[in-house]
Amino acid sequence: HLWPHLWPHLWPHLWPHLRACVATELVSRPPPLVHACVHMPGMPAYALYSRLGVQGRDEASMAQVMEGADIVINMVGKRYETKGLLPVDGEGKFSPLKGSRVNFSYEDVNVGVAASIAKVAAATPSVTKLIHVSCLGASPDSPSVLMRTKFAGEEAVKAAFPTATIVRPATFFGHEDWFLNWYAWMGERLRMVLVEDGSALVQPVHVANVAKAIMMACESEELEGKTLELAGPADYSRAEIAAFVNDITKQNKEILPVPKQILSLAGQAVETTLWNPYLTKDDVEVMSLDLVSDEAAAKAAGHVTFADLGIEPTPLEKIAFQYLHRYRKGGHFVYASGYH
């Protein structure tokens, strides 16, 4: 099996299911794998695991690492555009007026890389399955460039590899997420912020449930060419999520509603100045959207849900405390009797 990797919170949950398989990870930048997987059982079993590097625009390197693989799982994705230190032109030369600092745009990652992976997979004789991980909310009409390019990426993948399985997970939660951890991180260092009144809805899904669904797609011919729409058991407003995280972390800071226009300007400033921005202009657009699954609409579109797969999605409340308590001042033990 072979899969490109850029979502470190999803990969560790797939690995325990795949320890009996030969696994190659195709990476453009090595993630902190040991740190990300420290809580996962079975992660030290590296004997059947190897990591090979590729460049996102180099199809020859993709073909080299796909040779002999039977399944390709594409988890490449980025919530912000990566940038260099100085603006350069198309030939890589410094150009302060006509150049750009962006080296991989949303279009490059979500459409270009996805299309290349699908094209190379289709041309590799040993590859029988392609599973492409997109996201819930992908739409050509979305105000979010992330969501528009995610949809365009799905179309490019299906054009190159018609039997590809498309996976559309809702907002992930789990130990390495950038969802609950984001609210906790913001509350710890700055303030938890909401776009306007925080009324936009999310339907968070546990990353382990999505990993299980992907494994079923690996093993089932019936899911080829299908779209998996995977959402959690309940929806919440962004304001409810912020209050929930605030309660667990006991930060007791006032949650700050911010007008969308002002927060967009703040996001633009942050992504311009920081290599790994904690907020972008497009993040604000995403946080303004209702990212929930309409089961009736999913059925009408022929999409596959957790119910169809026989998977019971894990409630947010069952997992969140396991990793959010570390944001408490002094840690969990300050509040637990018998430790002081």
Confidence of residue 218 (pLDDT cuts 50, 70, 90): very high
Residues 24-41 pLDDT 10s: 555 554 443 333 333 444
The pLDDT value given to residue 11:
55
pLDDT at 99 over 60: yes
Confidence of residue 332 (pLDDT cuts 50, 70, 90): low
pLDDT at 333 over 70: no
More confident call, 102 vs 182: 182
Confidence of residue 97 (pLDDT cuts 50, 70, 90): confident
> Which one, of 136, 147, 303, 116, lies nearest residue 228 by Cα?
303
pLDDT at 21 over 60: no
Calpha distance 77→75 (Å, rounded): 6
pLDDT at 283 over 90: yes
pTM for the whole structure: 0.85
The pLDDT value given to residue 275:
86
Mean pLDDT (whole number) for 197-213: 96
The pLDDT value given to residue 101:
84
Confidence of residue 48 (pLDDT cuts 50, 70, 90): very low
More confident call, 196 vs 17: 196
Residues 224, 158 contacting (CB under 8 angstroms): no
The mean of the pLDDT values for the chain is 86
The pLDDT value given to residue 9:
57
Residues 161-196 pLDDT 10s: 999 999 999 999 999 899 999 999 999 999 999 999
